[in-house]
Chain A
Amino acid sequence: MLFLLRFDSKTVREPIISRAAIETGALINILRADVGARKGELIVEVPDERAEGVLEVFRRMGVEVQEITKSIARNENCVHCGACISICPTEVFHFNGEKRIELRAERCIHCGACIKACPTMALYFPL
């Protein structure tokens, strides 16, 4: 499962990811990190079966947690060129047998790199 974590000026100074990992034994994968002096945002991947325990630690430590369920999506502007293919770090995009672009959205790590690279502005994060 993917979670967006928001840290405030207090929690940003605490070793919360390590604590959650040690307490629950879960392997937590940090997909994106934007940490400043007074706040921070992380996107982490947590194994499904350990998610509950990990979330409990995050919440106890005062981190704002939001589950990410909707990943990259596309609208009818797509012309199936493939400009996105080489931009995506996790290979979300590929051609199917009909030479149309198909999305493996479950691989998306929300980096957003493809959005600006798409010439027809067909890619977006659903709200």
Chain B
Amino acid sequence: MKTIEEINEKIRRGDVCVVTAEEVKEMISELGPEGVVKEVDVVTTGTFGAMCSTGAVFNFGHADPPIKFKKVWLNGVEAYAGLAAVDAFLGATKPSETREFYGGSHVIEELVSGKEVELKALGYGTDCYPRKEIETSVSLEDINQAEMINPRNAYQRYRAATNSSDRLLRTYMGTLLPNYGNVTFAGTGEISPLNNDPEYRTIGIGTRIFLCGAKGYVIGEGTQHSPPFGTLMVKGNLKEMKPEFLKACYFPGYAPSIYVGIGIPIPVLDGEIAKALAVRDSEIKTTIIDFGVARRVRPVVREVSYAELKSGKVEINGEDVRVSPLSSFYVAEKIMRELKRMIERGEFLLTAPVERLKREEVFRPMKQKEIKVVKDVMVKAVTIGEDASVEDAARLLIEKNVNHLPVVDGEGVLRGIVTSWDIAKAVFRKSNRVRDIMTREVVTVYPEDPIAIAVSKLEKHDISALPVIDGKRKVLGIVTSEALSKLLGR
């Protein structure tokens, strides 16, 4: 049993033993947890990934005559000015109004690299702040405070992404190729801070951390904190940050974002803490979810461990699918080593948390007016086999009084669709088999899709019905434009 004060005393004396989260795994299997408590004082953990909930608060000092910002832009990126006169919060994912592939993250990166940025603001023109506009350029040296304040960083683990649809998707999880073409994942697994302190015993409010090269602090649980998907709210001085530990990025079709480097030292106070530090990627589980379904609750494709994800290939429906990380292990390791050096040189002392983070899982969805989904409006589909005759198809259309016949195989899996128009074509061309006249490229929906998605598909493809299918393409029903217009009253 050690205390943080004892460890800090060793740091000041220069005889502290620090190892990285990567190194400590081996040591624990050799020496056991108690052995590691004896040998090691601090373990450094690290992560470097795109963290959208990132931004910075600035105070620019007062102009003469003074202005109260009504709106303010930095390099054409709007910052939030609903604060005191010359305070503003710039969010990393805010896109520029004038430049493509540029946003708040790029402004932050340029400032940290020592560059000047253009400040443009409009004022209200009040008795106390008469000025109505200003244009100037500023660098970090010129402004009073530039504090990075991130509502949600350092996700403990994150759901991996894939795409079952037949369309390439551009998402915040990167480019997702059609038909389960790839998998992407975020987080650094066994070296990530919160995975090495899953009970949040040493990482809590007030914990001093490495934030993009500066000394920062945990200021609370992050937004959407929901163990074991824990998150942190952090802050740190932009003026002390180093460009190599922060990088602006841009996800096409989504928004700008920013790679944030976070390192957290874990004091090895007792055997329990040491035991937690032994965690391996194979024990850190998450799920792969399907971004092909545009819903809040996306279907889980399968469970997966970080070890499988890091191996570069995972199996989906019997096939090997290639995996891309979105976090950088190379920079995460650099951060762990840099933090280790800072502690060894006596430049970084540890702090005990003043309050612990919540350990129970809570994550509420947005309160919303009831939304209707396809399941609520679909009707039973009248289907036909591929080998049926055109005459059978015509009879079915008339007897059942429908306009669309999804064509299915013996398992009920969708193969095509036949409409009354196809029958007319068959008569003209003298075809006899359904398989010869059916349309093979069928536009479909899932039962959980909101009806807004069904409507947009009908409009986009200028068609009048959509077969409703499950993940294995089995036909569950059909949704027609008549049913939808009745529901929407148009």
Contacts and interface: CB of A to CB of B under 8 A. Distances in A.
Interface of A: 77, 79-87, 95, 98-100, 113, 116-117, 119-121
Interface stretch (B67-75, B325-333, B451-459): B325-333
Contacts of B251: 119
A99 B333 contact: yes
A113 B182 CA distance: 13
Given A116-B252, A120-B247, A87 B328 contact: no
B324 A99 contact: no
Interface string B231-259: 00000000000000001111110000101
Contacts of A84: 324
Contacts, number: 76
Nearest to B259: A79
B156 interface: no
B249 A98 contact: no
A86 B183 contact: yes
B50 interface: yes
Given A99-B333, A100-B330, 6 more contacts: A81-B328, A82-B328, A83-B184, A85-B324, A85-B325, A87-B177
Q: Say whether chain B's binding surface is mostly helix, strand, loop, or mixed.
A: strand
Given A85-B322, A85-B324, A87-B177, A119 B330 contact: no
A107 to B, nearest CB: 15
A117 B330 CA distance: 19
A121 B170 CA distance: 15
A46 B13 CA distance: 67
Contacts of A98: 330
Contact of A81 (B175, B252, B326): B326
B329 A116 contact: no
Nearest to B257: A119
Interface string B47-58: 011100000000
Nearest to A88: B322
Contact of B175 (A95, A99, A116): A116
B312 interface: yes
B175 A87 contact: yes
Contacts of A121: 101, 249-250
A116 B100 CA distance: 13
Nearest to B324: A86
B91 interface: no
A85 B259 CA distance: 18
A121 B248 CA distance: 10
Contacts of B321: 86
Given A98-B330, A99-B330, A119 B249 contact: yes
* 4 nearest A-B pairs in the assembled complex, by CB-CB distance: A86-B182, A119-B249, A86-B322, A86-B324
Contacts of A82: 324-326, 328
B327 A81 contact: yes
A83 B174 CA distance: 7
Contacts of A85: 312, 322-325
Contacts of B48: 79
A33 B324 CA distance: 27
A87 B182 contact: yes
Interface in B291-313: 312
Contacts of A113: 175
Nearest to B177: A87
Nearest to B50: A119
Interface in B329-359: 329-331, 333
A120 B259 contact: yes
Nearest to B48: A79
A80 B333 CA distance: 12
- A87, A95, A98, A116 pick with most chain B CB within 10 angstroms: A87
A85 B321 CA distance: 12
A119 B323 contact: no
Contacts of A87: 175, 177, 182, 324
15 contacts: A77-B247, A79-B330, A81-B259, A81-B324, A81-B325, A83-B324, A83-B326, A85-B323, A86-B181, A87-B182, A116-B175, A117-B175, A119-B250, A120-B248, A121-B249
B247 to A, nearest CB: 5
A83 B252 CA distance: 13
B197 to A, nearest CB: 23
Contacts of A117: 174-175
Nearest to B247: A79
A77 B250 CA distance: 12
A92 to B, nearest CB: 12
B305 to A, nearest CB: 17
A116 B174 CA distance: 9
Contacts of B50: 119
Nearest to A87: B175
Nearest to A100: B330
- A83, A119, A120 pick with most chain B CB within 10 angstroms: A119
